[in-house]
Amino acid sequence: MVTFQNLIKLNRQIVVDQFGARAGNLQFLKTLESLGFSVPSFACLPIELSATINAHLGVLSKELIESDKNFKASKLLEKSIWNRAPAHIKKSLSSAASFSKKSLIIRGTSRLEGLESLSFAGVCYSHIPSKPYQDPLDIETGIKSVLAGARSPYGYYYKQVHKLASHMFDVGIIAMEMINNAIYYGTLYTYENHIGIRLMGKDMDVDHFYEKKYLLSKKNLSKEEEIIQWISKICYKVTEHFETQNGMDIEFLITKSKSKLVLWLVQGREIVDIHIKNYKAARFNEVQHGHIINTVGCFSGKVKTFTNDEKYFKDEDTLFIIKHQSGNGTFKFLSSLKDKFDNKIGCIILHANDKDDHLQYSVFEDPRLSFIFHARNDKFDFSEGSIISVKSDGFNLVY
């Protein structure tokens, strides 16, 4: 019987090879808890189980992969993968969460994550439990979602555009205890000279870049700054131990025990090179609500609004205006792109009230695109067919 393994005593590289990069980073974070934070209890299933299932699957039909119009894995795809899994593997997976009685987040982890400057954002799926207590059916649903995630239309797009081998579909599975009583949550980026933070919760909604030296040494702090300074000091100590030159992308939760705040780190990974290039070129002022670091640079081309049935691209530099539509519009655009162009392609991706999703990060990694800018509204006065030049410093667009 295969069960989840506690990884704390294993060598970090062994964990990465057998369970995936995300698992290896979590395992290393767990050894650093004396720095002043906690990591939720977690355990993992090895990549070999997913590899065994994928070996039984063979090549899935295009109809099955595209059975859902959404770019995420469909329930039909999840069911097909689960039905084709060997019986003893399914039994092992279904009963594997006995290490904990709490509700569990189920996450995928690939050994390829972080290699070749690829974030694998959105390829390794995460399933959030639907109940505050552990439910075997919910865990099975999570495992199916993770196994199907890499074989979704988006997974195939990522594999093709980055020319990855088929074993990118082989993922380890992490089960992490759910922290149900968080009062704040967010992401912190430990750049060389600046701190980027997205902090949300009970009475805060912060999306800001700070000069590192200024914030870490500042006195007379506001409540907001006090919390951010506290998180930042710990996260920079973590970054030092990871010995990364690019800085880290660290996801966190904050709970309250009596009158004391408790910091939980739930994920940490090195920032990939393409995002570092944008960071170094940008000037740092306050980030608009919800923005991420955008491509820095200039682009000139003919303006064209992308429509869902667009299947061709003319041999001219084109600036496409795309409606994100919670990822669906952006994914249809990416799926329509040819492998190579003689011309250059840029795009401005418009977000209405969409929730943030991994696709808006991974689009930066698409080598076919010369310029990408994400915007929170559609109030751009672009005339269809006109030729314009745009310039971005990472946060602002001038045209």
Widest Cα–Cα separation across the chain: 64
Binned at pLDDT 50, 70 and 90, residue 290 comes out as very low
Q: Is 214 helix (H, G, I), strand (E, B) or coil?
A: helix
Q: How far apart are CA 319 and CA 181, in angstroms?
A: 45
Q: How far apart are CA 289 and CA 399, in angstroms?
A: 21
User: Residues 200-230: pLDDT tens digits?
Assistant: 998 888 888 889 999 999 999 999 999 999 9
Give the closest residue to 227 by CA, choosing from 190, 268, 194, 255: 255
Q: How far apart are CA 23 and CA 45, in angstroms?
A: 10
Give the pLDDT mean for 390-394. Answer: 85
Residue 288: the pLDDT is: 46
In the numeric block, the tokens 């162009």 are attached to 341
Binned at pLDDT 50, 70 and 90, residue 287 comes out as very low
Q: How far apart are CA 196 and CA 362, in angstroms?
A: 18
Global confidence as pTM: 0.87
User: Residues 134-188: pLDDT tens digits?
Assistant: 888 888 888 888 888 888 888 888 888 888 887 878 888 898 999 988 999 999 9
Residue 61 has pLDDT above 60, yes or no: yes
Contacts of 26 (CB under 8 A, 6+ apart): 7, 39, 42, 174, 176, 267, 268
Please state which of the ranges 160-174, 192-206, 371-385 shows the lowest mean pLDDT: 371-385
Residues in the chain: 399
Residue 291: the pLDDT is: 41
Residue 1 has pLDDT above 50, yes or no: no
Residue 105: the pLDDT is: 92
- Our CA angle for 383, 386, 390, nearest 5°, is 90
Residue 285 has pLDDT above 60, yes or no: no
Residue 300: the pLDDT is: 94
Give the pLDDT mean for 288-305. Answer: 74
User: Residues 314-365: pLDDT tens digits?
Assistant: 778 999 999 888 888 898 898 888 888 888 999 999 888 766 677 777 788 8
Q: How far apart are CA 38 and CA 28, in angstroms?
A: 12
Binned at pLDDT 50, 70 and 90, residue 98 comes out as confident
Residue 4: the pLDDT is: 63
Share of the chain above pLDDT 70, in %: 88
More confident residue, 293 or 216: 216
